[in-house]
């Protein structure tokens, strides 16, 4: 890890650990597809754990809707991607609200496996009151979820760069680089543009991280903490 990346992660961890809540701190790691959300969330979780705080790692990938509902508007529909991909009511009911100010801290990390297109019987766990939820995924600062976070990070990466990364990362998923780029061009990037236009995530995030060069990310403060 480069010194620049280490400093960025340490700063994020320090800001999160300063938060005082009577319930687990819920952290969103948002950004477009292939922005580096999962990698950053994993690295951040390790730093927070080293501080002595328990960490709950989870992802929007555990809250997909069934394939028939996700693709009801068509395989290439950006509207379908933005509106139909994830089960936000269940995400709030079994995880975010349970860890919030009125929750009992009993939670489930995931409810659905999109790879087999079937529900999963994830165990119910009990979070310590001082736990930190580090949750990564797309579309996390939309209206349905914005009130469920105590801290949020948005990874800002130009679409040209996310598409370049996806062409390397997602070949096994889509078959070849050409199909990856086509799918991003017609579904994923336009879906993100819908999100940007409706939710304005960079304006809502607590912190925005420029992650175009993952070795040299830069951090700026965004929306004030409440």
Q: What is the pLDDT of residues 123-139, one digit of tens each?
A: 999 999 999 999 999 99
Confidence of residue 171 (pLDDT cuts 50, 70, 90): confident
pLDDT average, residue stretch 30-59: 97
Give CA–CA dist 91/127, Å, rounded: 16
Owning domain of residue 9: 3-221
Q: Domain for residue 226, yes or no? A: no
Confidence of residue 183 (pLDDT cuts 50, 70, 90): very high
Q: Domain for residue 213, yes or no? A: yes
pTM to 2 decimal places? 0.94
Question: Where would I find the beta strands (DSSP E) of 99-217?
Answer: 106-107, 112-113, 118-119, 125-126, 132-136, 151-156, 207-210
CATH number at residue 193: 3.40.50.300
Structurally, the chain folds into a number of domains equal to 1
Q: Domain for residue 46, yes or no? A: yes
Q: What is the overall mean pLDDT for the chain? A: 95
pLDDT average, residue stretch 163-182: 90
Report the candidate in 9, 27, 14 with the shortest Cα–Cα distance to residue 217: 9
Give CA–CA dist 187/80, Å, rounded: 8
């Amino acid at each position: 890890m480069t010194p620049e990346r280490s400093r960025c992660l340490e700063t994020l961890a320090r800001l999160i650990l300063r938060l005082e809540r009577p319930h687990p701190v819920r952290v969103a790691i948002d950004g477009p597809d292939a922005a580096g959300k999962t990698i950053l969330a994993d690295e951040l979780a390790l730093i927070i754990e080293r501080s002595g705080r328990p960490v709950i790692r989870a992802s929007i990938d555990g809250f997909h809707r069934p394939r028939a509902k996700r693709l009801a508007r068509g395989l290439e529909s950006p509207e379908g991607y933005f509106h139909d991909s994830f089960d936000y009511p269940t995400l709030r009911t079994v995880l975010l609200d349970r860890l919030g100010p009125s929750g009992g801290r009993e939670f489930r990390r995931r409810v659905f496996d999109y790879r087999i297109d079937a529900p999963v019987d994830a165990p119910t766990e009990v979070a310590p009151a001082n736990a930190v939820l580090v949750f990564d995924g797309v579309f996390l600062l939309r209206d349905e979820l914005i009130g469920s976070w105590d801290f949020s990070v948005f990874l800002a990466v130009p679409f040209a760069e996310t598409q370049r990364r996806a062409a390397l990362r997602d070949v096994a998923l889509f078959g070849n680089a050409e199909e990856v780029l086509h799918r991003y061009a017609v579904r994923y990037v336009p879906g993100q543009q819908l999100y940007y236009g409706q939710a304005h995530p960079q304006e809502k995030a607590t912190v925005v991280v420029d992650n175009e060069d993952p070795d040299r990310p830069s951090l700026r403060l965004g929306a004030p903490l409440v």
